[in-house]
Chain A
Amino acid sequence: MSAEPILEARGLSKTFRAGGAVFGKPFQAVKDVSLAVMPGETLAVVGESGCGKSTLARMLVGLETPDEGEILFRGAPIKRDRALRRQVQMVFQDPYLSLNPRRTVLDIVAEPLDVHGLAKGAARTARVEELLTAVGLDPAASSRFPHEFSGGQRQRIGIARALAAEPSVLVCDEPVSALDVSVQAQVVNLLIDLQKRLGIAIIFIAHDLAVVRAISHRVMVMYLGRAVEEGGADRVLVTPNHPYTVALRGSALEPDPARARLARGKATRGEPPNPVNPPPGCRFNPRCPRVTDECRTNEPQMKRHTDAAGLSGVACYHPVQEAEALSA
């Protein structure tokens, strides 16, 4: 892995208005989030619904404009540079909604080729067939329509489309969340395999920690628009430091009765707060078992350092230490 990030985001923020673009109350869906991903690396972004994962993803691929912050590709600002944009492609969550039902698989997968004028006629067809083969589909699928495919197959079509422009970064927004486990594993293995073959970097957005563990090198955890913890997948998932990551970890159930039953009666209290009115201080403070007065008044900042797995950090005044995390 080279030392220079292939894609970097610095201080991204995005404010929406809840309940109408003009009169709605403004709230920050993403607040001051930075990240960096190396060539050939997978960075997972995890967190619960509404925490800003999709908004972050949409900013990274240029579907949404950040209010603040910048996005750099190999150190150069992406802005409106189409050639750079092409390098960052997106795979969407819902294979049912993200494919146009009236277009053939050929036209769907060829879309980036058409948009960027990369191939025409026989070369276009040949390239699509090559892409379909690469994602494990029969090239004959190109004349069929999306509804003729299962969820897992549709997700493969979405991945083939994203790969058409030969990107160096794939941003995958919950690519397997809508799939059954047996099929989920097929798609996860496909992404790992493509990464090995093509050397692409992957930003993998998910809420399932076990899936994240299978695919990612590094993990960033978000809570209510903020990055609260990041680091190597082993460290963040096995010995988390942020109380919210510890809560997520404690709520994740595994197919092992002895282990899963340990979670009985230990749910984290409190509802996820309303993003329109985030609590003052640390955004997790109303639900946090370690809260102190300081947490209720000042917002903790992420302090990063570099370890063997790259950048690592936690935004918390009273991080959980390894021994405590294991017994929690």
Chain B
Amino acid sequence: MPPSPCALCKVNRALILRPKDHSKLCRPCFLSTFEAEIHHTITSSRLFERGERIAIGASGGKDSTVLASVLKTLNERYDYGVELILLSIDEGIRGYRDDSLETVKRNAQQYGMPLEILGYDELYGWTMDQVVEQVGKRGNCTYCGVFRRQALDRGAAKLGVKHVVTGHNADDVAETVLMNLLRGDLPRLSRTTSIVTSTPSLSADGAGKNTNIKRSKPLKYTYEKEIVLYAHHKNLDYFSTECIYSPEAFRGSARALIKNLERVRPSAILDVVRSGEDMAKLVPGSDEGCGGVCASAVPAGEEEEGGCGSANGRSSGGEMATMEDQLSQNEAAKANGLEVEITSSKIKKSEAPLPLTVGKSRKVPKASQPRKEPKKQVMGQCKKCGYLSSQEICKACVLLEGLNKNRPKNHIEVGYEQEKDVNGATEAMKQLDVGAG
């Protein structure tokens, strides 16, 4: 094939084929286009405010590394006037974070940003290794995922930072859209498609006082492929690993489906993201009318943070198990005629039927089974930790309760004094223990 010239400068040889529009770009034109599009997302969604302190959820992986690099570039180029810091979470899996935390430390130097590393032990009183010791290797991804979901907010609250940006990319968002459609979880669809969400979390200073943590995804419309290419062509220093506890999590996942769709038609990824946004607008009571841009950001609540390890918004097999619960909410939506409306107006017949194979087979409750009343999802705050939750006690606290209850008795007695002041959550769990015992 003869080399093609760049579609923008018409001079250099094209090296990049853009998935969203098939344009062919040279290296410098690709880098500047990539940055300009993220700048556009930031300004058109008014993500940042001058003077804001912003924590970048940093794992040392490609997404957060590219996010940190691009935000530094844009903050200087366009004078956003924001203060950027790196915030890393250490799950406490022996050896697992060593290299990635080293990468984040190098990034902190390379980008001249302060770095804070907070461990699950500091945030929850349990390292993942301790969780695995307790519950075994199967199912621990649920813990990892639920803890991860709150970790950045809890961490930010601890640091007194009110805005956390994450490296969720278009592929991540498209995956969660598909997962929520497969589950039939329309309320969550709304939350996961918004570019800005907000979450009450326990603030650092006040005992029991809550602070709202804003979350945003500046890379929401950015293809994973282009993130990897940007990192490559800019020679960024990032780290790749797979979660040692779930090497098989990828197989048969919605993620695999997304990548197959991309191979057939690359624009499918952004199409899924946009469709997700459109459908979210139809969800009753959704704040999505403004496209998630308006001041009253959608509560982040139980946003899918993915199962495990290094992944951002990646699904894991275990999550499919919650599908059954969600089916009852489906019923409510059906009663409103919502499902019919979406089917007829928003989903075109696909050109080719794609096998929607996802890890586990979808369990449909038998008609004879008594159905739970479809419960209205009202976002409140967890009574234990203050984190936003649709239940009285948030998932993390429920999991912690189970963990702490089963902690070997002598361990609790011996460990009580030392652990007493680890943090509020642990303390709260102790009280739960007493009550339950």
Q: Do A and B come from one complex?
A: no
Q: Which residues of B contact A (CB under 8 A)?
A: none
Which residues of A pack against B, CB within 8 Å?
A: none
